[in-house]
């Protein structure tokens, strides 16, 4: 296979959601506690001093977030949206762990 074709498939593979067996919830929780609670809160509702200071702070337990796809959550974590920083420096697996951990708030 040419390197370009290999790269193409590697890119597609990275975008795909990993199987449930690849998800590490403990890692997701630890990363969330470290990087996200200041704004989003330990319960995901955004009811923190920082979260309350941000207009339209999302609530991970809300219908709006429930309706978003996992890919949309993943993309937000990857790219950020000011004032939310980008978390592109985390590995892809770690970002998926975060997506799955966030989902637990609305279960």
User: Which among 77, 88, 92, 98 is positioned nearest to 26, based on CA atoms?
Assistant: 98
Stretch that binds ligand HEC, among 6-14, 17-25, 69-77 (CB under 6 A): 69-77
CB 18 within 8 A of CB 93: yes
CB 76 within 8 A of CB 31: no
Of 5 and 34, nearer to ligand HEC (C-beta) is: 34
Q: Which of 10, 13, 16, 38 binds ligand HEC (CB under 6 A)?
A: 38
Stretch that binds ligand HEC, among 4-12, 13-21, 80-88 (CB under 6 A): 80-88
Number of amino acids touching ligand HEC (CB under 6 A): 21
Interaction of residue 87 with ligand HEC, rule CB under 6 A: yes
- The binding site for ligand HEC (CB under 6 A) comprises 32, 35-36, 38-40, 50, 54, 57-58, 64-65, 73, 76-77, 81, 83-84, 87, 98, 102
């Amino acid at each position: 296979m040419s390197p370009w074709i290999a790269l193409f498939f590697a890119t597609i593979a990275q975008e795909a959601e990993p199987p449930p067996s690849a998800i590490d919830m403990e890692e997701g929780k630890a990363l969330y506690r470290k990087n996200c609670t200041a704004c989003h809160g330990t319960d995901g509702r955004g009811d923190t001093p920082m979260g309350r200071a941000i207009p339209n702070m999302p609530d991970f337990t809300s219908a709006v977030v429930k309706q978003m796809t996992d890919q949309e959550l993943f993309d937000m974590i990857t790219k950020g949206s000011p004032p939310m920083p980008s978390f592109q420096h985390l590995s892809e697996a770690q970002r998926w762990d975060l997506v799955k951990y966030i989902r637990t708030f609305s279960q």
